[in-house]
C-alpha cells in the first residue's frame, strides 16, 4: 500500500477516535442504571423499603406489602451483585438464558413493558455488571468476582 496523506490521516483518525467510542459505550450507574432502577424498580425497592437484614427477618410482612429490600443507591444496589447477596441481581433479572431451568428470574418481568424494552434494559445491566454470573457467594470464585465492573 502506498502511504499517501489520505492513508496517514485515516490511521490518525482511527487512532484518535477509537478510545473515545470505547468510553462512550461504557455503562455506568449514574448515567444508565440509576434511570432504569428509578423507572422500573424503585416503587418496591425504594427509600421506604427495608434494609436487606430487616427484610430477611420480617420477609412475610414485606412481601405482603409488595416491598423488596432497599436498592435506592449505588451502595445499596451493589450489595445484591458482589457481596453478601452475590449474584442476586443476576439471578432475578436473567431472561432464562443462564438459569438452570431456563426460566427467567422473577424480576425480569419488571425490566420493561415489552420484550424489546426488557431485552434492552437487560443488555444494559449485563454490560454494567461485566461478569454476568448467577452463582452465590459460596460458589463464586475470586476470578469471577474480579470480572465484576459496576462502574459508578
Ligand atoms: C412490584 C414490586 C417489585 C418491583 C417493581 C421490583 N421488585 Fe424486586 N422484589 C420485590 C419483592 C416483594 C421481593 C422479595 C420477594 C422475592 O424474593 O421475590 C423482590 C426481590 C428482589 C431481589 C432479591 C433480593 C434478595 O433478597 O436477594 C432482587 C435482586 C430484586 N428484587 C431486584 C429487582 C430489580 C432490579 C427490579 C427492577 C427491574 C425489581 N426488583 C422490581 C418486588 C419488586
For ligand 1, residues with CB inside 6 Å are: 40-41, 43-45, 63, 66-69, 80, 85, 88-89, 92-93, 106-107, 110-111
Q: Region 136-149: what's the mean pLDDT? A: 97
pLDDT-based confidence at residue 25 (cuts at 50, 70, 90): confident
Q: Which residue has the higher pLDDT, 22 or 114?
A: 114
Q: What percent of the chain has pLDDT over 70?
A: 84
Measure the CA–CA gap between 111 and 149, rounded to whole angstroms.
20
Q: Region 29-55: what's the mean pLDDT? A: 98
105 CA from centroid of ligand 1 (Å): 10
Residue with cell 455503562: 27
Residue 128's contacts (CB-CB under 8 Å, 6 or more residues apart) are: 27, 28, 29, 32, 33, 149, 150, 151
Q: Rounded mean pLDDT of the chain? A: 91
Amino acid at each position: 500500500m502506498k502511504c499517501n496523506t489520505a492513508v496517514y490521516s485515516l490511521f490518525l483518525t482511527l487512532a484518535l477516535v477509537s478510545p473515545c467510542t470505547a468510553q462512550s459505550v461504557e455503562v455506568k450507574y449514574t448515567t444508565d442504571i440509576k434511570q432504569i432502577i428509578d423507572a422500573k424498580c424503585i416503587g418496591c425497592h425504594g427509600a421506604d423499603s427495608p434494609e436487606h437484614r430487616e427484610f430477611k427477618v420480617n420477609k412475610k410482612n414485606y412481601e405482603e406489602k409488595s416491598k423488596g429490600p432497599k436498592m435506592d443507591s449505588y451502595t445499596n444496589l451493589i450489595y445484591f451483585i458482589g457481596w453478601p447477596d452475590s449474584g442476586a441481581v443476576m439471578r432475578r433479572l436473567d431472561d432464562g438464558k443462564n438459569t438452570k431451568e431456563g426460566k427467567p428470574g422473577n424480576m425480569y418481568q419488571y425490566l420493561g413493558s415489552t420484550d424489546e424494552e426488557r431485552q434492552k434494559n437487560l443488555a444494559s445491566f449485563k454490560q454494567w455488571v461485566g461478569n454476568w454470573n448467577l452463582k452465590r457467594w459460596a460458589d463464586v470464585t475470586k476470578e469471577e468476582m474480579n470480572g465484576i465492573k459496576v462502574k459508578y
